[in-house]
Chain A
Amino acid sequence: MPTSERALQFPQGAPNAQPALVVVSGTTVAKNVPAAPQVHPAPTECVLPSGLSFKGEARFPCGVQIEGAFDGKVTAASDQTITVAKGGRVKGEIKATNVHVEGGVDGQIIADGGLARFGATAKFTGEVTYARIGIEEGADIEASMKKLTPKVSI
């Protein structure tokens, strides 16, 4: 009987009873009831929200969106992008394949093998090492730039 089946499922584990999680751009919002944590799919991007400040070192397997204040060294796995959002402030080192800056960065940016992109609201002082670079009009940049030439096999 369907009703007794459902009743049996409840103690077994929340995942069967809970509605699905909705993952919206990195943040996970449970629909009604606390989601059983083990059903969480690995987030494709995580966020350091505005209002949170972190001082230290961080290493992520995924893309990161920094909206808060980060003081230290942040690294992302290969082929990932670190984004400093408009309200984000990073002091220290950012290292990823692609780095997209719309906020404030003071320090070193290493976009090895990828794109270092500065939006119109970006403010950057320091050093940037890149394979490809993009700077939008309005970006406030005072930096030394170094291009990484990819090794060309003959």
Chain B
Amino acid sequence: MNTTTQAAARLIQPSNLSTQINVLPKSAVMKGDMQATENLSIRLDGEYEGKISLQNDGTVHIACDANVTTGMVVADFIYVEGTVKGDLHARKAIELSPTARVQGSVRYEKDMDIHPGARISGQIIGPELDS
């Protein structure tokens, strides 16, 4: 059995993930920009190219088969299990699971959790050291 993959989320709360909406299933492709005008959480399983911007309390869940190429993903919570090329900005918390592969900058303003096995190449920008 594969023990390095598929750990459950431990920083991102279940309440953030339970209301997520399947916006992009596994073999779907979306190219463009996505913006939320309400507080909602989304889940991506397919290929996405473009920007994503969510409102308050929103979680972007990039599932393990997802492949996101982006200029910027902005949300309160970001849970990455898949591949991301681009910049991630979590206004609250970001969590990278063992299957996460991120190439680009990761910016978070409160908490970050990186599981063993996750791969990041890029800059990590956290909150001010003094605050």
Which chain A positions have C-beta within 8 A of B28?
A: 46, 58-62
Which chain B positions have C-beta within 8 A of A28?
A: 20, 22, 43
Within 8 A of A (CB), among B90-119: none
Number of interface residues of A (CB under 8 A): 38
Using a CB–CB cutoff of 8 Å, the interface residues on chain A facing chain B are 11-14, 18, 26-30, 32-38, 40, 42-43, 46-62, 72
Contact (A30, B32) CB under 8 Å given A11-B3, A38-B6, A52-B23? no
Contact (A56, B33) CB under 8 Å given A42-B26, A47-B22? yes
In the bound complex, do residue B29 and residue A33 qualify as a contact, i.e. CB atoms below 8 Å apart? Answer: no
Question: Complex Cα distance A30/B21, Å?
Answer: 11
In the bound complex, do residue A54 and residue B25 qualify as a contact, i.e. CB atoms below 8 Å apart? Answer: no
**Could you show 23 A-B contacts with beta carbons less than 8 Å apart?**
A13-B6, A14-B6, A14-B7, A30-B14, A34-B8, A34-B18, A35-B17, A46-B22, A46-B25, A47-B21, A49-B21, A50-B38, A51-B36, A52-B34, A52-B40, A53-B35, A53-B36, A54-B32, A57-B31, A58-B30, A58-B32, A59-B28, A72-B32
Which chain B positions have C-beta within 8 A of A36?
A: 6, 8
Which one, A29, A52, A62, contacts B37 given CB within 8 A? Answer: A52
Q: Is B131 an interface residue (CB 8 A)?
A: no
Question: Complex Cα distance A33/B7, Å?
Answer: 13
Contact (A52, B35) CB under 8 Å given A28-B20, A47-B22? yes
Question: Complex Cα distance A27/B81, Å?
Answer: 19
Question: Complex Cα distance A72/B14, Å?
Answer: 33
Q: Is B1 an interface residue (CB 8 A)?
A: yes
Which chain A positions have C-beta within 8 A of B43?
A: 28
In the bound complex, do residue A34 and residue B26 qualify as a contact, i.e. CB atoms below 8 Å apart? Answer: no
Question: Complex Cα distance A61/B38, Å?
Answer: 26
